[in-house]
Amino acid sequence: MYIFLECDIGYYGYNCTETCGHCVDEAECSPVDGTCSTGCSARYFGQLCKTECKSGTYGLKCNETCGHCSDLLYCSHVNGSCLTGCKPGYEGDRCQQICKFGFYGIGCLQECSSFCKTSRDCDHVSGVCRHGCRNGWEGDDCFDVSNINEDGEESESKFHGFVAAFCVSLGLNCILIAIFVVKRLRRASPGVAKDQVKKEKYKGDNDVSKEASNETSYQELGEINKSETYESCQ
Protein backbone atom coordinates (compact mmCIF):
# COMPACT_ATOMS: atom_id res chain seq x y z
CA MET A 1 0.00 0.00 0.00
CA TYR A 2 1.39 3.36 -1.08
CA ILE A 3 0.82 6.45 0.90
CA PHE A 4 1.05 9.65 -1.15
CA LEU A 5 2.26 12.63 0.73
CA GLU A 6 1.24 16.12 -0.18
CA CYS A 7 4.19 17.29 -2.21
CA ASP A 8 5.51 20.78 -2.39
CA ILE A 9 4.71 22.75 -5.52
CA GLY A 10 6.90 21.57 -8.35
CA TYR A 11 7.31 18.01 -7.14
CA TYR A 12 5.45 14.77 -7.53
CA GLY A 13 5.75 10.98 -7.23
CA TYR A 14 6.81 8.59 -4.55
CA ASN A 15 8.11 10.56 -1.62
CA CYS A 16 7.84 13.66 -3.87
CA THR A 17 11.20 12.97 -5.39
CA GLU A 18 10.25 13.81 -9.00
CA THR A 19 10.40 17.33 -10.39
CA CYS A 20 7.47 18.67 -12.37
CA GLY A 21 7.99 19.82 -15.92
CA HIS A 22 7.34 23.25 -17.42
CA CYS A 23 3.65 23.53 -16.67
CA VAL A 24 1.84 26.79 -17.43
CA ASP A 25 0.95 26.80 -13.75
CA GLU A 26 3.30 24.81 -11.50
CA ALA A 27 0.51 24.51 -8.92
CA GLU A 28 -1.41 22.44 -11.46
CA CYS A 29 1.31 19.77 -11.69
CA SER A 30 -0.21 16.47 -10.55
CA PRO A 31 1.49 15.24 -7.37
CA VAL A 32 0.82 11.71 -8.51
CA ASP A 33 2.21 11.52 -12.05
CA GLY A 34 3.48 15.05 -12.76
CA THR A 35 1.11 15.83 -15.64
CA CYS A 36 0.28 19.47 -16.30
CA SER A 37 -3.49 19.95 -16.31
CA THR A 38 -3.22 23.45 -17.77
CA GLY A 39 -0.69 22.59 -20.47
CA CYS A 40 2.95 23.36 -21.04
CA SER A 41 4.77 26.64 -21.02
CA ALA A 42 6.12 27.96 -24.27
CA ARG A 43 9.13 26.05 -25.56
CA TYR A 44 8.03 22.70 -24.14
CA PHE A 45 5.54 20.01 -25.02
CA GLY A 46 4.53 16.49 -23.97
CA GLN A 47 2.45 15.19 -21.08
CA LEU A 48 5.06 16.14 -18.53
CA CYS A 49 6.11 19.29 -20.42
CA LYS A 50 9.74 18.30 -20.23
CA THR A 51 10.45 17.97 -23.96
CA GLU A 52 11.85 21.09 -25.64
CA CYS A 53 10.56 22.27 -28.97
CA LYS A 54 12.41 21.09 -32.02
CA SER A 55 14.76 23.51 -33.75
CA GLY A 56 12.79 26.07 -35.77
CA THR A 57 9.62 25.88 -33.64
CA TYR A 58 8.40 27.78 -30.61
CA GLY A 59 5.36 28.74 -28.57
CA LEU A 60 2.57 26.78 -26.92
CA LYS A 61 2.80 23.13 -27.91
CA CYS A 62 5.65 24.22 -30.19
CA ASN A 63 3.20 24.79 -33.03
CA GLU A 64 4.72 28.11 -34.17
CA THR A 65 7.46 28.25 -36.79
CA CYS A 66 10.53 30.42 -36.34
CA GLY A 67 11.26 33.12 -38.88
CA HIS A 68 14.38 33.59 -41.02
CA CYS A 69 16.87 33.56 -38.16
CA SER A 70 20.52 33.52 -39.16
CA ASP A 71 20.79 30.39 -37.00
CA LEU A 72 17.63 28.46 -36.07
CA LEU A 73 19.40 26.97 -33.08
CA TYR A 74 19.15 30.43 -31.59
CA CYS A 75 15.44 30.91 -32.22
CA SER A 76 13.81 31.42 -28.85
CA HIS A 77 11.49 28.51 -28.07
CA VAL A 78 9.48 30.91 -25.97
CA ASN A 79 8.62 33.79 -28.32
CA GLY A 80 10.42 32.96 -31.58
CA SER A 81 12.83 35.90 -31.46
CA CYS A 82 16.09 35.41 -33.31
CA LEU A 83 18.89 35.83 -30.80
CA THR A 84 21.66 36.14 -33.42
CA GLY A 85 19.80 38.31 -35.93
CA CYS A 86 18.16 37.67 -39.30
CA LYS A 87 19.24 36.20 -42.59
CA PRO A 88 19.85 38.73 -45.42
CA GLY A 89 16.63 40.21 -46.71
CA TYR A 90 14.64 40.02 -43.48
CA GLU A 91 14.10 42.16 -40.42
CA GLY A 92 12.14 42.35 -37.18
CA ASP A 93 12.58 40.54 -33.87
CA ARG A 94 11.31 37.28 -35.35
CA CYS A 95 12.81 37.92 -38.81
CA GLN A 96 9.48 37.36 -40.53
CA GLN A 97 9.31 40.66 -42.42
CA ILE A 98 11.06 41.20 -45.75
CA CYS A 99 13.03 44.37 -46.34
CA LYS A 100 11.13 47.48 -47.28
CA PHE A 101 11.08 48.49 -50.94
CA GLY A 102 14.46 49.81 -52.07
CA PHE A 103 16.52 47.95 -49.45
CA TYR A 104 18.15 44.54 -49.23
CA GLY A 105 20.82 42.47 -47.51
CA ILE A 106 21.78 41.92 -43.88
CA GLY A 107 19.62 44.02 -41.62
CA CYS A 108 18.04 45.55 -44.75
CA LEU A 109 20.65 48.29 -44.58
CA GLN A 110 21.81 48.26 -48.20
CA GLU A 111 20.02 50.36 -50.83
CA CYS A 112 19.00 48.97 -54.20
CA SER A 113 20.48 50.62 -57.27
CA SER A 114 18.70 53.63 -58.70
CA PHE A 115 19.88 52.40 -62.13
CA CYS A 116 17.53 49.40 -62.07
CA LYS A 117 15.02 49.56 -64.92
CA THR A 118 12.46 50.38 -62.26
CA SER A 119 14.46 52.55 -59.90
CA ARG A 120 15.47 50.71 -56.69
CA ASP A 121 13.29 47.69 -57.49
CA CYS A 122 15.59 44.83 -56.51
CA ASP A 123 15.51 41.44 -54.80
CA HIS A 124 15.32 41.94 -51.04
CA VAL A 125 17.94 39.24 -50.43
CA SER A 126 20.59 39.67 -53.14
CA GLY A 127 20.01 43.20 -54.44
CA VAL A 128 19.67 41.95 -58.05
CA CYS A 129 17.47 44.29 -60.11
CA ARG A 130 14.24 42.45 -60.86
CA HIS A 131 13.71 43.76 -64.41
CA GLY A 132 17.27 44.45 -65.52
CA CYS A 133 19.16 47.73 -65.84
CA ARG A 134 18.56 51.08 -67.45
CA ASN A 135 20.40 51.92 -70.66
CA GLY A 136 24.07 52.51 -69.99
CA TRP A 137 24.32 50.24 -66.95
CA GLU A 138 24.96 46.55 -66.39
CA GLY A 139 25.66 43.92 -63.75
CA ASP A 140 23.32 42.14 -61.37
CA ASP A 141 22.97 45.25 -59.24
CA CYS A 142 23.25 47.70 -62.20
CA PHE A 143 26.14 49.64 -60.70
CA ASP A 144 28.57 48.98 -63.59
CA VAL A 145 28.83 51.25 -66.63
CA SER A 146 27.91 49.34 -69.77
CA ASN A 147 30.82 49.21 -72.27
CA ILE A 148 28.54 47.69 -74.89
CA ASN A 149 26.19 50.61 -74.64
CA GLU A 150 29.07 53.08 -74.88
CA ASP A 151 30.25 51.43 -78.10
CA GLY A 152 26.69 51.45 -79.41
CA GLU A 153 26.28 55.12 -78.59
CA GLU A 154 29.61 55.94 -80.23
CA SER A 155 28.60 54.06 -83.40
CA GLU A 156 25.22 55.73 -83.40
CA SER A 157 26.87 59.12 -82.95
CA LYS A 158 29.22 58.45 -85.88
CA PHE A 159 26.28 57.38 -88.04
CA HIS A 160 24.33 60.53 -87.21
CA GLY A 161 27.41 62.63 -87.97
CA PHE A 162 27.80 60.95 -91.36
CA VAL A 163 24.14 61.54 -92.23
CA ALA A 164 24.39 65.20 -91.19
CA ALA A 165 27.56 65.72 -93.29
CA PHE A 166 25.91 64.05 -96.29
CA CYS A 167 22.84 66.29 -96.01
CA VAL A 168 24.98 69.42 -95.74
CA SER A 169 27.07 68.37 -98.74
CA LEU A 170 23.95 67.64 -100.78
CA GLY A 171 22.46 71.02 -99.90
CA LEU A 172 25.64 72.87 -100.91
CA ASN A 173 25.77 71.01 -104.22
CA CYS A 174 22.17 71.96 -104.96
CA ILE A 175 22.95 75.61 -104.24
CA LEU A 176 26.04 75.56 -106.51
CA ILE A 177 24.07 73.95 -109.34
CA ALA A 178 21.33 76.58 -109.01
CA ILE A 179 23.90 79.40 -109.12
CA PHE A 180 25.53 77.85 -112.20
CA VAL A 181 22.21 77.55 -114.04
CA VAL A 182 21.26 81.14 -113.23
CA LYS A 183 24.59 82.42 -114.55
CA ARG A 184 24.21 80.44 -117.78
CA LEU A 185 20.77 81.87 -118.31
CA ARG A 186 22.03 85.39 -117.74
CA ARG A 187 24.84 84.88 -120.24
CA ALA A 188 22.46 83.49 -122.81
CA SER A 189 19.95 86.38 -122.45
CA PRO A 190 21.84 89.05 -124.57
CA GLY A 191 22.14 86.67 -127.54
CA VAL A 192 18.46 85.92 -127.39
CA ALA A 193 17.66 89.63 -127.34
CA LYS A 194 19.83 90.25 -130.39
CA ASP A 195 18.13 87.44 -132.27
CA GLN A 196 14.77 88.92 -131.38
CA VAL A 197 15.86 92.36 -132.64
CA LYS A 198 17.08 90.82 -135.88
CA LYS A 199 13.78 89.04 -136.34
CA GLU A 200 11.82 92.24 -135.72
CA LYS A 201 14.06 94.18 -138.14
CA TYR A 202 13.76 91.50 -140.79
CA LYS A 203 10.00 91.54 -140.40
CA GLY A 204 9.94 95.34 -140.77
CA ASP A 205 12.08 95.24 -143.92
CA ASN A 206 9.75 92.67 -145.44
CA ASP A 207 6.75 94.81 -144.69
CA VAL A 208 8.40 97.86 -146.36
CA SER A 209 9.33 95.79 -149.42
CA LYS A 210 5.78 94.53 -149.71
CA GLU A 211 4.36 98.05 -149.50
CA ALA A 212 6.83 99.29 -152.13
CA SER A 213 5.95 96.38 -154.38
CA ASN A 214 2.25 97.09 -154.00
CA GLU A 215 2.72 100.76 -154.83
CA THR A 216 4.68 99.81 -157.98
CA SER A 217 1.90 97.45 -159.01
CA TYR A 218 -0.70 100.15 -158.47
CA GLN A 219 1.29 102.61 -160.60
CA GLU A 220 1.67 100.11 -163.44
CA LEU A 221 -2.01 99.30 -163.31
CA GLY A 222 -2.84 103.00 -163.43
CA GLU A 223 -0.69 103.50 -166.48
CA ILE A 224 -2.37 100.57 -168.20
CA ASN A 225 -5.83 101.94 -167.46
CA LYS A 226 -4.90 105.40 -168.75
CA SER A 227 -3.60 103.92 -172.02
CA GLU A 228 -6.73 101.88 -172.53
CA THR A 229 -8.94 104.93 -171.90
CA TYR A 230 -6.95 107.05 -174.36
CA GLU A 231 -7.23 104.43 -177.08
CA SER A 232 -11.00 104.10 -176.64
CA CYS A 233 -11.43 107.88 -177.00
CA GLN A 234 -9.71 107.91 -180.37
pLDDT digit string, tens, across residues 19-50? 999 998 888 899 999 999 888 888 888 889 99
Note whether residue 125 is domain-resident: yes
pLDDT at 71: 93
Amino acid at residue number 47: Q
- If asked whether residues 106 and 93 sit together in one domain, one would say no
Buried b (16+ CB within 10 A) or exposed e, 131-154: eebbeebbeebbeeebeeeeeeee
For residues 81 and 120, state if they share a domain: no
Domains in the chain: how many in total? 3
Are 65 and 85 in a shared domain?
yes
pLDDT for residue 211 is more than 60: no
Judge whether residue 201 has pLDDT over 50. Answer: yes
Is 189 among the domain residues? Answer: no
Domain residue limits at 112: 101-145
Identify whether residues 47 and 10 lie together within a single domain: yes
Q: What pLDDT is stored for residue 205 in this prediction? A: 56
Q: pLDDT: is 197 or 112 the higher one?
A: 112
Residues 73 and 94 in one domain: yes
Q: State whether residue 66 is helix, strand or coil.
A: coil
State yes or no: pLDDT of 199 exceeds 70. Answer: no
For residues 121 and 130, the answer to whether their CB atoms sit within 8 Å is: yes
CB atoms within 10 A of CB 103: 19
**Does residue 133 sit within a domain?**
yes
Last residue of a domain, one of 115, 145, 175: 145
> 230 in a domain, yes or no?
no
Instruction: Please check whether residue 108 lies inside any domain of the structure.
Output: yes
Q: What secondary structure letter does DSSP report for 124?
A: T
Of the three residues 145, 179, 211, the one that is the final residue of a domain is 145
- Mean pLDDT (the chain) is 79
- Same domain for 48 and 7: yes
Consecutive H or E run containing 175: helix 147-233
pLDDT of residue 107: 94
| Among 56-60, 141-145, 204-208, the least confident range | 204-208
In a domain, 93, yes or no: yes
In a domain, 42, yes or no: yes
Give 180-189's long-range contacts (Cβ < 8 A, gap of 24+): none
Rounded to two decimals, the pTM is 0.51
Decide if 163 is inside a domain.
Answer: no
